[in-house]
């Protein structure tokens, strides 16, 4: 018999404050799995109407699945968080889009009827596990010229994107980066960032124990003039700098996804309704263009147009990558719909965790903006991919003809 698919909703999302990777970062002596465990525990605390035994799956992403973020981290994190032993879990990897994929994969299971409620998220401790640690790329990638050598270095792929689109100048990238820092600082001052955060205990051999309560990477004093003087580590006289790209960071995210009818049964408000999603492959050498075809595909699938989208949360792996997306869809660099609370250039990008950060921020914006019906979360993905997810605002309340 044909089965009806169920609507899927995003219930709630949280994250740790993001830290700077390295020996001086706030999480230098904190375990990666403890970061995501803290997020899961906070989700359960914030949502008491969802009994822990109603959670059917825990999907946690990590790009470097070794050490303290290995060992099937979805299952181990579920056990460490105190969920019933009957709750299964698994690890997932789609590089930067790990948490995004954790959400779409569990959401598909919910729509199919395999699950009612799931936890999805991601963690990356780039201080403990630098990107690519332990990786052994097959030599055929280069010997058979399957990819250009630059495809394996994300900063070089961003330089390639500047090459392909010369109108995306370093000056534009620096201006976008400075604006990201300013928007984040304003949102933090307005209390719009803190609502997502869970405090995280930290320890240091020299400084003792502490409590992480705020993001470590932002630089609110950033100016375009200051950015113009930074070194270009990926190419002499290049355009990618530490100022117009996301940093190396540590952090974790987690969210609750549920069937809409189950959320209603449990009297749990939905923050967003899933409309559609798409992942695509692109040339690895210019992986930053990935969100463009991914968004075009999901718009076709859902019958929507880019004009229907009233809020964008685009991952700022590199400023040039976001600018390429905006130019393609005819959106101004300073469009108020785009990353209104700043993005990864300011707050950081702990690889596999970032997709849920985008979703959580979009959900908070939906609550503030009942005039916006559809929102989009999108990101580029290493080795040449892109992901895009469209969400609907459940509190949308505008008369026909006034839709954002």
Q: How many CA atoms lie within 13 A of 377 on its CB side?
A: 30
Q: Which residue has the tokens 């019958």?
A: 303
Distance CA 92, CA 105 (A): 10
Q: How far apart are the first and last CA of the chain?
A: 39
How big is the CA angle at 38 (ends 352 and 346), to the nearest 5 degrees? 50
Q: CA dist 147 to 30, 234, 282, Å?
A: 37, 18, 12
Distance CA 123, CA 121 (A): 7
Q: How many CA atoms lie within 13 A of 23 on its CB side?
A: 2
Q: Is 132 left (phi over 0), alpha (psi -120 to 50) or beta?
A: left
Catalytic residues: 96, 349, 380
| SS3 per residue for 40-55 | HHHHHHHCCCCCHHHE
Provide the 3-class DSSP secondary structure of residue 217: coil
Q: Is 140 left (phi over 0), alpha (psi -120 to 50) or beta?
A: alpha
Q: Which residues pair with 91 in a beta bridge?
A: 60
Read off φ and ψ for residue 125, nearest 5 degrees.
-110, 90
Contact 324, 288 (CB under 8 A): yes
Beta carbons within 10 angstroms of residue 262's beta carbon = 20
Q: What is the DSSP string of 49-89?
A: TS-GGGEEEEEEE-SS-SGGG-SSHHHHHHHHTT--TT--E
């Amino acid at each position: 018999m044909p089965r009806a698919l169920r609507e899927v909703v995003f219930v709630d999302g949280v994250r740790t404050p993001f830290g700077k990777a390295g020996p001086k970062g706030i999480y230098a002596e904190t375990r990666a799995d403890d970061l995501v465990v803290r997020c899961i525990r906070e989700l359960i605390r914030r949502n008491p109407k969802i009994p822990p035994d109603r959670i059917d799956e825990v999907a946690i992403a990590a790009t470097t699945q070794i050490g303290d973020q290995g060992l099937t981290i979805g299952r181990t994190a579920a056990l460490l968080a105190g969920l019933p032993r009957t709750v299964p879990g698994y690890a997932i990897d789609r590089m930067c889009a790990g948490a995004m994929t954790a959400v779409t994969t569990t959401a598909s299971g919910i729509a199919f009827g395999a699950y009612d409620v799931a936890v999805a998220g991601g963690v990356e401790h780039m201080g403990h596990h630098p990107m690519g640690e332990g990786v052994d790329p097959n030599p055929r990638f280069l010997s058979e010229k399957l990819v250009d050598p630059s495809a394996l270095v994300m900063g070089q792929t961003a330089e390639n994107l500047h090459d392909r689109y010369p109108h995306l100048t370093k000056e534009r990238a620096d201006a976008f980066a400075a604006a990201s820092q300013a928007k984040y600082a304003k949102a933090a001052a307005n209390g719009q960032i803190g609502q997502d955060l869970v405090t995280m205990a930290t320890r240091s051999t020299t400084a003792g124990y502490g409590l992480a309560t705020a993001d470590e990477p932002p630089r609110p004093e950033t100016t375009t003039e200051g950015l113009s003087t930074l070194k270009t580590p990926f190419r002499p006289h290049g355009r990618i700098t530490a100022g117009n790209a996301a940093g190396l960071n540590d952090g974790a995210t987690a969210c609750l996804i549920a069937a809409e009818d189950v959320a209603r049964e449990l009297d749990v408000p939905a923050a967003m309704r899933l409309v559609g999603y798409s992942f695509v492959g692109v040339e690895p050498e210019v992986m930053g263009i990935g969100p463009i075809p991914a968004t075009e595909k999901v718009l076709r699938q859902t019958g929507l147009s880019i004009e229907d989208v009233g809020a964008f949360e685009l991952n700022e792996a590199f400023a040039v990558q976001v600018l390429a997306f905006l130019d393609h869809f005819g959106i101004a660099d300073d469009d108020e719909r785009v990353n209104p609370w700043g993005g990864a250039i300011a707050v950081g990008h702990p690889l596999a965790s970032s997709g849920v950060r985008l979703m959580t921020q979009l959900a908070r914006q939906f609550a503030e903006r009942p005039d916006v019906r559809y929102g989009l979360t999108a990101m580029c993905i290493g080795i040449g991919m892109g992901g895009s997810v469209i969400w609907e605002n459940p509190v949308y309340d505008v008369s026909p003809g006034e839709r954002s």
